[in-house]
Amino acid sequence: MELSDRQQQILDIVKAQQPLSGEKIAEELGISRATLRSDLSFLTLAGILQAAPKIGYPRMSIEKQK
């Protein structure tokens, strides 16, 4: 599965600082939460990230996605 550059950046940020809220990820990337939402949805549905209410986004997949 091919990830966009922003999706890979999200994974790198989460890997380094997990779990991390969507708000913090958006802040790290310098984008709005609305812009981030579609990427987080994709990564969650693909099973790469897990959405944990009140906790944030811990990474599920160990291997770097290509």
Query: What per-residue confidence (pLDDT) applies to 55?
Result: 73
The pTM of the full predicted model, rounded to 2 decimals, is 0.80
Query: DSSP string of 3-66?
Result: PPHHHHHHHHHHHHH-S--HHHHHHHHT--HHHHHHHHHHHHHTTSB--BTTTB--B---SPP-
How many whole angstroms separate alpha carbon 18 and alpha carbon 29? Answer: 15
Selected residue with higher pLDDT from 21 and 58: 21
Q: Where are the domains positioned within the chain?
A: 5-45
Q: What is the pLDDT of residues 5-56, one digit of tens each?
A: 999 999 999 989 888 899 999 999 999 999 999 999 999 999 898 888 877 7
